[in-house]
Structure 1
Amino acid sequence: HIGDLVAEMLAQYGVEYVFGMPGGQTTALHDGISRRTDRIRHILMRDERNAAYAADAYARLTGKPGVCDVTVGPGANLLPAGFLEALNASIPMIGIIGELPLDWLPLKEKGIASQGFDQLSFFKTCSKEAFLVPSVASLPELIRTAFRIATAPRPGPVALIIPHDIFDADWDEELLKIRVDDRSVRMPYLRSVAPKSEVATAAALIRRAKRPALVCGGGVHGSDATKAVGRFADRLGGLVVTSLSGKGSVPETLPYAAGVLNPLGSSAAIELIQEADLVIWCGSKVSQNTGMNWTLPTPQQATITIDFDPLEHGRTFRPTVALLGDVRETVEALDAALGDSMADAHPDWMARIREGIAAANAVKAEEMVSDQVPVLPPRIMAEIAKRLDDDDVVVSDASFAAGWIAGYIPAKQAKRQFLYARGQGGLGYSVPGAIGAATVVAKGARVVTVAGDGAFSYTIGELATQAQYNQRIVNVVINNGKLGWIQLWQEIYFKNVQSAELETQSSVPGYAAAAQGLGLLGIYVDKPDDIGAALDRAFAHDGPSVVEVRIDDRATPIHSFKRRMREPEDKPRPRPGTVYKLRDWKVSPDL
């Protein structure tokens, strides 16, 4: 049947895992996979939304499209959360979506066919592209098209909606032959390089700069460009920072690497980037957060943008030089055009960078050894960092967890070792993301998640999936009893709003106990001296675990929140609508 055709094509495209939830309309696919378990396996998720998150993490670590499957109606309508994450973060993904039989269309439109709704229009809003398969004969070409679109610049999710009658149809292998396009097995589909004339202009601009800076986004990892970027960074003789998604583009142990540029990232990165006279945006879309609420680049800064998406070169500012091309190929061309190393060309700037990094590290060092009770999250991150091996992967959830990881667990290698859900920044990514990551990490390696109690609550059911497949995942829950970001926002800007409480004195959620009930190792910690021993047990455990740590509900990695909380109570505070102000579109200057 056609389920065999789909499963065979997926296997030939190198897809090792499909994450999802079966339904009657998609059972033919699962039957096809069951006959090919030596090449492709299905991971049963507890929620279709989480299938997309697991596929997303798989795609980030492998560069291959993450594949998820859902059934028609209630299964399909849960998929967009993960699709939007992949769309905004440029992650290749393919969703195989069940549909009612083709000749049921008039019944669906009348609203009397069970579970039916206009899925094609629905997925057009949250996908790079969406297709409703109209016939058996068209299916192989549509699968090839889905992989090509998912991996081509700019990568993203593609919805392939397959009606029930097509899935269950017979497959005559002699009449309907299949073939795959090996160019779209992983991203990028094709590589290109910016014109030599523009590369030369950019190199000349770099030579004139006195305080150059390089901002590395997720596109560095998407292009598998860390080696090229590392060589270029060494030659540049300037500051290097990353976005959250770009963390690990260069090791943060280097003397010129100041960490993550983000309102909840590195204070050194935030401070030093303002002083640069040239900013090279490499594989970064200069989003609200990496652009520091669109205050970057400053009017005085010349800019170079490196991106394979032509629409990125001028989205919020017109760059001095736009280099349109694959990140890896273009950085290598720029590195060659630059010629002699400039590592010693800016001694004052390099000294200033080292000074800024040292000052920020001194402040963080005090936080990371704090014996305060309730526990400060930097102490937890420091203990995690001590135990991470080279092949381990850290999966961040949204909200404060992203900032604690970014600032206090350094990237010691140039590789994608940290996964952040920044396309949407939605709560609940880490637990299902870890399931996808655990399918591809090196043998013996561990996946570590960090989530607040609010985020962890979203997808706690997927702990059962981790247990079912006995994955080596250490889930760290930093529990402050609140939706921390929202609670502080309400306090700072609206005073007495109390809608972000997650517990009362008589009702304290026990995540470690819940984990034990689902068959995992669960450990509760409320004293800093017990964190290390708890993590040692979890890291040594042959299976998934949850380490729940009670933390200070006033702790925040957001620098503006810290400043606000230090201000006198009677000082007037602006309404939050004035915090994020989009500056005027402008042309970057030439040095």
Structure 2
Amino acid sequence: MDGPLSANQPLTETKPHIGDMLAEMLAQSGVEYVFGMPGGQTTALHDGISRRTDRIRHILMRDERNAAYAADAYARLTGKPGICDVTVGPGANLLPAGFLEALNASIPMIGIIGELPLDWMPLKEKGIASQGFDQLSFFQSCSKEAFLVPSVAALPELVRTAFRIATAPRPGPVALIIPHDIFDADWDPQAMPVRVDDRTRRMPYLRSAAPVSAIRDAAALIRKAKRPALVCGGGVHGSDAAAEVTAFADRLGGLVVTSLSGKGSVPETRAYAAGVLNPLGSEAAIELIQEADLIIWCGSKVSQNTGMNWTLPKPDQATITIDFDPLEHGRTFRPTVPLLGDVREVITALDAALGDSRAGTLPDWDARIAEVKARCEASKLAETSSDQVPILPPRIMVEIAKRLGKDDVVVSDASFSAGWISGYIPAEQTRRQFVFARGQGGLGYSVPGAIGAAAVAPEGARVVTVAGDGAFSYTIGELATQAQYNQRIVNVVINNGKLGWIQLWQEIFFKNVQSAELESQSVVPGYAAAARGMGLKGIYVDKPDQIAAALDEAFAHDGPSVVEVRIDDRATPIHSFKRRMRDTSEKARPRPGTVYKLRDWKVSPDL
């Protein structure tokens, strides 16, 4: 096409463009969906996708930050890089929340980010050229890697590189910043044929195994243990190793707990499984892990929460670490035996090295696990069967659990929701059925995350979200996206009228600070009503005997719904909060400004 384009002249009337090439590369890389918000600088990509809807489609989000959250959930459930697209400037500056979530949680993601034309670069500062700023430096701070594409010729290799980096150990988000004039440039498929690396379609890009000598040492340590424990983190799912880890756990003959992200690494119906190890997780897991003489950290970075504020492992506990990131073998403690390699490869080799099954060979440890689990389950019964008004969240969780099908997925928001889900909805299958945003733990993940999850859910499956009213308020606009695509999502809003965690923190540590109120007597947000206004089914519940019927109606609905449940604003899944509210003496209250300190880096013992 010669000469400048007129205002009404289609860009792609005669010649394919680089947007076509990029869309084709994404489709050939196995990407089914791109989540994002178009802009003038990225329209060529959308044009390319629009001609390939038999293989790849775009899902329009209402907010760019939510595009990254949707891509994150898509990646967790498929193992493929989640793809999000935004335009230059105001679109780009909203991505970091989701990028940081993916970076910290080791989730593969590629952000396709618009940019000013190359020859406008001197004008980008201070927005002299509209929307311009230093995007490369910006994304280098929150990405595994960031690239500014310098030319049309460099783009194909940078796309392949982005997929390789995103899916290689340790997976993470990659920013691919593409200038406007490169996007709109002509593409000659003969001169620049599409080539992709099929190895990078999903994580991990490569697998490696620990040395035989290290496997042998770890097996010997396990044989000596009298109270072994296995802690499964999100790396189990990242390696697609849940089946192998469950087989190993069945033969180990010891306790198994998981992080939030690792929930589903083993079925929690197993006698040895004690739930989620976290301050807002399972009381049985927290108690039993203290008694272990050996802890095998499997695909877990031993973060502040899973490490119980870094009080684990204790000095007298031997340790084995399994991780493909060499920097994780000694970040907060020196392991007795480090096993550097892919979780699936290492756990398979370790299982073979152990030989005969050890299940049933430690009757005292088995009995102790059963005793503690039974006691803790009995104490939960009062909560799950309560007819209290306002409603206790555990009563809601058990009703959700009754309705979950084998292909359904639960997406948790941050704060208390993660505790209610982890403690009261058991993982009955060996797979990633639960999606927790724990990389950053930011509010507002569940509604957009459900969009990404629903896009790849099997036919007939449901996606269920659980969010507090504070978290739900962050991304309520994405309900319109759920409605537009008629996704089968049940959004459960547990509404206490407050930022629950902050309210109790202020009360416990600062004696009644009032800055966490989300409503007043004159203004009461109606989330079910707002949902109805956006075309969803909206149901309000304020009595326990209404929960079952409301969930039945929502699960039966052919489309998205919101079930808003009024809950007790004193309810908390955090065990330390519960104890402190029971004991109001000054001596029992930590002083304001309490800081958790990383304990001394020390060698864990041989058994």
TM bracket, shorter-chain basis: over 0.9
Aligned to 1:235: 251
2:413 aligned to which of 388, 392, 397: 397
Aligned to 2:90: 74
Instruction: Tell me whether 1:439 sits opposite 2:455 in the alignment.
Output: yes
1:376 aligned to which of 367, 392, 403: 392
Inter-partner Cα distance in structure 2 for 1:310 and 1:577: 34
- SS in structure 2 of the partner of residue 95 of structure 1: strand
**Pair 1:266–1:524, CA change in 2 (3 A):** same
Aligned to 2:271: 255
Aligned to 2:133: 117
Q: Which amino acid aligns with 2:317?
A: Q
Residues 278-329 of structure 1, C-alpha deviations (whole Å, 9 max, x = no match): 0000000000000000000000000000001111100100100000000001
**Shift of residue 110, structure 1, vs aligned partner:** 5.6
Aligned to 1:317: 333
Aligned to 1:304: 320
2:38 aligned to which of 14, 22, 41: 22
Inter-partner Cα distance in structure 2 for 1:265 and 1:158: 32
**Shift of residue 344, structure 1, vs aligned partner:** 1.7
2:123 aligned to which of 102, 107, 119: 107
Is the Cα contact below 8 Å between 2:510 and 2:592 reproduced in 1?
no
**Shift of residue 403, structure 1, vs aligned partner:** 0.1
Inter-partner Cα distance in structure 1 for 2:590 and 2:231: 30
**Shift of residue 176, structure 1, vs aligned partner:** 1.3
- SS in structure 2 of the partner of residue 240 of structure 1: strand
Inter-partner Cα distance in structure 2 for 1:519 and 1:569: 50
Instruction: Tell me whether 1:508 sits opposite 2:524 in the alignment.
Output: yes
Aligned to 1:198: 214
Aligned to 2:187: 171
2:261 aligned to which of 245, 249, 252: 245
2:56 aligned to which of 30, 35, 40: 40
**Shift of residue 572, structure 1, vs aligned partner:** 5.6
- SS in structure 1 of the partner of residue 124 of structure 2: helix
Aligned to 1:215: 231
2:175 aligned to which of 159, 163, 168: 159
Instruction: Tell me whether 1:90 sits opposite 2:127 in the alignment.
Output: no
Inter-partner Cα distance in structure 2 for 1:283 and 1:110: 44
- SS in structure 2 of the partner of residue 199 of structure 1: helix
Aligned to 2:151: 135
Q: Any gaps of 5 or more consecutive residues in structure 1?
A: none
**Shift of residue 577, structure 1, vs aligned partner:** 3.4
1:337 aligned to which of 344, 348, 353: 353
Instruction: Tell me whether 1:56 sits opposite 2:72 in the alignment.
Output: yes
Inter-partner Cα distance in structure 1 for 2:239 and 2:586: 50
Aligned to 2:201: 185
Q: Which amino acid aligns with 1:565?
A: M
2:433 aligned to which of 417, 441, 446: 417
Residues 532-567 of structure 1, C-alpha deviations (whole Å, 9 max, x = no match): 000000000000000000000000000000011011
Instruction: Tell me whether 1:525 sits opposite 2:534 in the alignment.
Output: no
- SS in structure 2 of the partner of residue 578 of structure 1: coil
Q: Any gaps of 5 or more consecutive residues in structure 2?
A: 1-16
Is the Cα contact below 8 Å between 2:414 and 2:445 reproduced in 1?
yes
Inter-partner Cα distance in structure 2 for 1:446 and 1:420: 17
Q: Which amino acid aligns with 2:471?
A: A
Aligned to 1:465: 481
1:492 aligned to which of 503, 508, 520: 508
- SS in structure 2 of the partner of residue 577 of structure 1: coil
Aligned to 2:280: 264
Q: Which amino acid aligns with 2:565?
A: V
**Pair 1:110–1:405, CA change in 2 (3 A):** closer
Residues 144-163 of structure 1, C-alpha deviations (whole Å, 9 max, x = no match): 00000000000000000000
Inter-partner Cα distance in structure 2 for 1:410 and 1:217: 16
Aligned to 1:541: 557
Q: Which amino acid aligns with 1:72?
A: V
Q: Which deviates the most, 106-115 or 73-82?
A: 106-115
2:464 aligned to which of 433, 442, 448: 448
Inter-partner Cα distance in structure 2 for 1:288 and 1:111: 40
Q: Which amino acid aligns with 2:498?
A: K
Inter-partner Cα distance in structure 2 for 1:484 and 1:344: 43
- SS in structure 2 of the partner of residue 548 of structure 1: strand
Q: Which amino acid aligns with 2:204?
A: P
- SS in structure 2 of the partner of residue 506 of structure 1: coil
Inter-partner Cα distance in structure 2 for 1:95 and 1:111: 22
How many pairs were matched up?
Answer: 591
Matching of residues 580-591 of structure 1 within 5 Å? 580-591=596-607
Aligned Cα root-mean-square deviation (Å) = 0.8
Is the Cα contact below 8 Å between 2:580 and 2:588 reproduced in 1?
no
Instruction: Tell me whether 1:280 sits opposite 2:296 in the alignment.
Output: yes
Inter-partner Cα distance in structure 2 for 1:301 and 1:148: 38
Is the Cα contact below 8 Å between 2:126 and 2:132 reproduced in 1?
no
- SS in structure 2 of the partner of residue 131 of structure 1: strand
**Shift of residue 569, structure 1, vs aligned partner:** 4.5
**Shift of residue 177, structure 1, vs aligned partner:** 1.7
**Pair 1:576–1:244, CA change in 2 (3 A):** farther
Residues 508-547 of structure 1, C-alpha deviations (whole Å, 9 max, x = no match): 1100000000000000000000000000000000000000
Is the Cα contact below 8 Å between 2:232 and 2:297 reproduced in 1?
yes
**Shift of residue 576, structure 1, vs aligned partner:** 4.5
Inter-partner Cα distance in structure 1 for 2:63 and 2:293: 48
Q: Which amino acid aligns with 1:134?
A: P
Residues 442-473 of structure 1, C-alpha deviations (whole Å, 9 max, x = no match): 10000000000000000000000000000000
Residues 239-284 of structure 1, C-alpha deviations (whole Å, 9 max, x = no match): 0000000000000010000000000000000000000000000000
Aligned to 1:426: 442
**Shift of residue 175, structure 1, vs aligned partner:** 1.3
- SS in structure 2 of the partner of residue 478 of structure 1: strand
**Shift of residue 578, structure 1, vs aligned partner:** 2.6
Residues 486-510 of structure 1, C-alpha deviations (whole Å, 9 max, x = no match): 0000000001210000001111110
**Shift of residue 171, structure 1, vs aligned partner:** 0.3
Aligned to 2:9: none
- SS in structure 1 of the partner of residue 315 of structure 2: coil
Is the Cα contact below 8 Å between 2:254 and 2:366 reproduced in 1?
yes
Q: Which amino acid aligns with 2:239?
A: S
- SS in structure 2 of the partner of residue 549 of structure 1: strand
Matching of residues 548-559 of structure 1 within 5 Å? 548-559=564-575
Instruction: Tell me whether 1:347 sits opposite 2:363 in the alignment.
Output: yes
- SS in structure 2 of the partner of residue 88 of structure 1: helix
